[in-house]
Amino acid sequence: MKIIVTGGAGFIGSNFIFHILKEHPADRIICLDKLTYAGNLSTLSDVMEKPDFRFVQADICDREAVFPLFEEEKPDAVVNFAAESHVDRSIEDPAVFLKTNVLGTQVLMDACRTFGMVRFHQVGTDEVYGDLPLDRPDLFFTEETPLRTSSPYSASKAGADLLALAYHRTYGLPVTVSRCSNNYGPYQFPEKLIPLMIANALADKPLPVYGTGENVRDWLYVEDHCKAIDLILRNGRVGEVYNVGGHNEMRNIDIVKLICRELGKPESLITFVPDRKGHDLRYAIDPAKIRDTLGWYPETKFEDGIGETINWYLEHRCWWEEIISGAYRNGISACGFSVDGDNRET
């Protein structure tokens, strides 16, 4: 399979590229990424020179860049990870979320229609379902749960999902959508809860917990998410939505305390700060459909995954310290990565 992976210089997209190149050595990957603040070429340094990998720096909203790439590469499939992904940023400035997440998805699907009805997978989020009450642990999000978004981020992601399903119904585009819960693991940008808390704790800085810290998220190791997308892409039914999650609900405050314990840091670093506007209370996925139809299940237990993740951040300080200092934006990493080679195309 020849797959265009958008947003592959970000957290989940890069892990997906590593997964595909390892598990499907006959596949070829073309990574299309704008390299916004969230994209980091050094993440891809190990695969940059591989013959079955190509990196193209471009904006998914830019038809003049996207269409010629499809014409040249004639991909079999597109997996769309490219997005503005951080809820707090969407509250500050929604415009770019609507542009990239909705209009960028449209450009990609128009290219898929134009160049041979290319198989399209939209990487969605459980945030499109809104939230669940904290006092009803019996309730879960199913694929039938009505969309009820809370933030400009989740509204833009819901727009993209609906557009993808509309392209299937109207034009017959072979589309699938996955909606996953919170991911954690290597290469997550240190603005998100787990890597932010690890980085701050290691620097003995305050650990900012929003509100009371009682909000619940359903955590999934990133590799398990990548396996789910891979399965949906190859064996999923077009026109269908698949929820992805591993029944691993944790309160934010418990995650932060766990990180303090693992790093030998005092809980006195925890600082309660004003709550996020519109803060969703609880996410919880019912993964019965993907389990029963595609045989997917989460393989990594949270105790193992969080330990591996903390170790990864300890062993890759240079990766996230260059993000915090801003040095990662110039494309030349001091961490021993070389990312300015011939394979970097703009």
Burial 170-194 (b: 16+ CB within 10 A, else e): eeebbbbbbbbbbbbbbbbbbbbbb
Phi-psi region of 211 (alpha: psi -120 to 50; beta: other; left: phi over 0): left
**Could you tell me which of 88, 102, 268 has the C-alpha nearest to residue 189?**
88
Interaction site with ligand NAD (CB under 6 A): 6-7, 9-13, 33-36, 38-39, 59-61, 81-85, 100, 104, 123, 125, 157, 180, 182-183, 189
- Of 85 and 309, nearer to ligand DAU (C-beta) is 85
Dihedral over alpha carbons 31, 34, 35, 36 (to 10 degrees): -140
The partner in contact with residue 42, picked from ligand NAD, ligand DAU, none with C-beta cut-offs of 5 to 8 angstroms by kind, is none
**Minimum distance from CB of 81 to ligand NAD (Å)?**
4
**What, of ligand DAU, ligand NAD, none, does residue 210 touch, CB below 5 to 8 Å by kind?**
ligand DAU
> Among the options 33, 59, 84, 127, which is catalytic?
127
83-98 burial code (b ≥16 CB/10 A, e <16): bbbbbebbbeebeebb
Footprint of ligand DAU on this chain (CB under 6 A)? Answer: 85-87, 125-127, 181-182, 192-193, 196, 208-210, 215, 217, 252, 276, 283
252 binds, among ligand NAD, ligand DAU, none (CB under 5 to 8 A by kind): ligand DAU
Closest to ligand NAD by CB, 7 or 130? 7
Helix-helix angle 11-23:222-235, to 10 degrees: 60
CB closer to ligand DAU, 200 vs 300:
200
Tokens of 312: 């990864």
Other beta carbons within 10 Å of 294: 16
Helices H / strands E in the chain, number of each:
12, 14
Smallest gap from Cβ 117 to ligand DAU, in A, equals 28
Cβ proximity to ligand NAD, 222 vs 269, nearer residue: 222
- Alpha carbons 263 and 202: distance in angstroms, whole number: 7
Q: Which of ligand NAD, ligand DAU, none is residue 7 near (CB under 5 to 8 Å by kind)?
A: ligand NAD
Q: Which of 33, 131, 153, 184 is catalytic?
A: 153
The phi-psi region of residue 324 (left if phi > 0; otherwise alpha if psi is between -120 and 50; otherwise beta) is: alpha
Cα distance between residue 343 and residue 346, in whole Å: 10
302-315 helix and 317-325 helix, angle to the nearest 10 degrees: 70
Whether 286 is a known active-site residue: answer no
Q: Which of 84, 126, 249, 322 is catalytic?
A: 126
Neighbours of 133 (CB within 10 A): 9
The residue of the chain with the least Cβ separation from ligand DAU equals 125
Could you tell me the smallest distance in angstroms from the CB atom of residue 16 to ligand DAU?
15
DSSP string, 257-287: HHHHHHHT--GGGEEEEPPPTT---B--B--
**Cβ at position 43, least distance to ligand NAD in Å:** 8
**Smallest distance from the beta carbon of 120 to ligand DAU, in angstroms?**
19
Per-residue CA distances from 198 to 11, 74, 151, 187 (Å): 16, 42, 26, 13
- Of 33 and 201, CB closest to ligand NAD: 33
Residue nearest to ligand NAD (CB): 10
Residue 126: active-site member: yes
In whole angstroms, the minimum distance from the beta carbon of 104 to ligand NAD comes to: 5
Nearer to ligand NAD, 66 or 269 (CB): 66
Residue 38 interacts with which of ligand NAD, ligand DAU, none, CB < 5 to 8 Å by class: ligand NAD
Binding partner selected for residue 13 from ligand DAU, ligand NAD, none, CB under the kind-specific 5 to 8 Å limit: ligand NAD
Nearest-approach distance from CB 307 to ligand NAD, in angstroms: 19
Residues identified as active-site: 126-127, 153
